[in-house]
Amino acid sequence: MGAVRPVAVVADRIAWEERRLIEAAPAFGLRLDWVNDESLSLGHPDAPSVKGYDTLLVRSRSYTRGGLIATLAEAAGVPTLNTARAIHACENKAALRALLQAVGIPVPDHRLVLSRKDFDKALAELPLPLVLKPVFGGMGKRVTLIRDSDTAHSVYDYIEDLAHAFEQASVVEPYLGGSSVRCLVVGRELIGAAEFEAGGSDWRNNAALGNRTRAVAHDPDVLKTVDGVVDVLGPGIYGIDLFATPDGFVVNEVNHAPGFRAVASATGADVPSAIGRYVQELLS
């Protein structure tokens, strides 16, 4: 048996997913240590805070920290999973959609909104109901359903009052229904796919909100879309969220540090072992 390979799990806290990954690691010759993403102080060319780790498993929930940490770690010669390029793309909904559109991968019709004028044009060009969401953000936070044009500008008042342009940057898109499909990818393999359906009084179909889930088949259209996304971003660990439309699936967003509890529960997939095996293969 070879030497145990040290891997840093970079995150702001240890949640259910990180605990499962740490528990599964020894079976694959790995030792996973939690490294708080708030205490790295990267920038030194030798990156002393992560020196001694064979790779960083970046699971920062922040939509700014992950890409910055990965960029500086890679510059210091420490490989990261996912890559800095992939994380930066996933952190920015507008940039990701541009990358996917450029190679013909369908995404929802949308408009980038950086001002009240942008918002007015989006309202004029897209049919109600509309969804207003931040360019940088996740877990369903600050995602708003606009059903009525009379209230749209009142909603935008809240966006306009945010202190920083970074927080104000938004995307407007048509509402595509109360369900989505989360595809959990490890390397290039689709490990599990589950449908999230909004329930109760909350219209948002996000696993972080505890919506209903069920396993879905790995049909050819899903696999083709997943393969296309991985071709763009490179192999890695992703949560790819799809909407079904009359014309086929569209990619809503890609999560670079996906929660996988809901998908594992719905499908029975052993996601921690799949990730452990993938990391083992990368380091061999």
Please say if the pLDDT value at position 182 is more than 90. Answer: yes
pLDDT for residue 206: 58
pLDDT at 25 over 70: yes
For residue 5, give both structure tokens.
């390979």
If residue 277 lies in a helix (H) or strand (E), which one and from where to where? helix 271-283
Contact 150, 208 (CB under 8 A): no
Average pLDDT, integer, range 39-67: 93
Looking at domain 177-283, its CATH class is alpha beta
The whole-chain average pLDDT of the chain stands at 93
pLDDT 10s digits, 195-254? 988 765 666 655 555 567 899 988 899 999 999 999 999 999 999 999 999 999 999 999
For residue 195, list its beta bridge partners.
181, 214
Residue 210 has what pLDDT? 53
Mean pLDDT to the nearest integer, 56-69: 93
Q: In this predicted structure, what is the pLDDT of residue 64?
A: 87
Please tell me the predicted confidence (pLDDT) of residue 18. Answer: 98
Residue 283 three-state SS: helix
137 band by pLDDT with thresholds 50, 70 and 90: confident
**Mean pLDDT across 161-174:** 89
Residue 63 pLDDT level (bands cut at 50, 70, 90): confident
pTM of the model: 0.94
In percent, how much of the chain has pLDDT > 90? 83
CATH code 3.40.50.2000 for 5-89: no
126 in helix, strand or coil?
coil
| Range in 62-66, 115-119, 190-194 with the lowest mean pLDDT | 62-66
pLDDT classification of 2: cutoffs 50, 70, 90 = confident
CB 181 within 8 A of CB 241: yes
* Domain definitions of the chain by residue range: 5-89, 111-174, 177-283
Sheet with strand 189-197: strands edge to edge: 212-215, 189-197, 179-187, 236-245, 248-255
- In the beta sheet, which residues pair with residue 58? 10
Amino acid at 109: D
The domain 111-174: what is its CATH number? 3.30.1490.20
For residue 15, pLDDT beyond 70: yes
pLDDT tens by residue, 65-122: 999 999 999 999 999 999 999 999 999 999 999 999 999 999 999 999 999 999 999 9
pLDDT at 142 (0 to 100): 87
Q: Is the pLDDT of residue 1 over 80?
A: no
Q: What pLDDT is stored for residue 260 in this prediction? A: 96
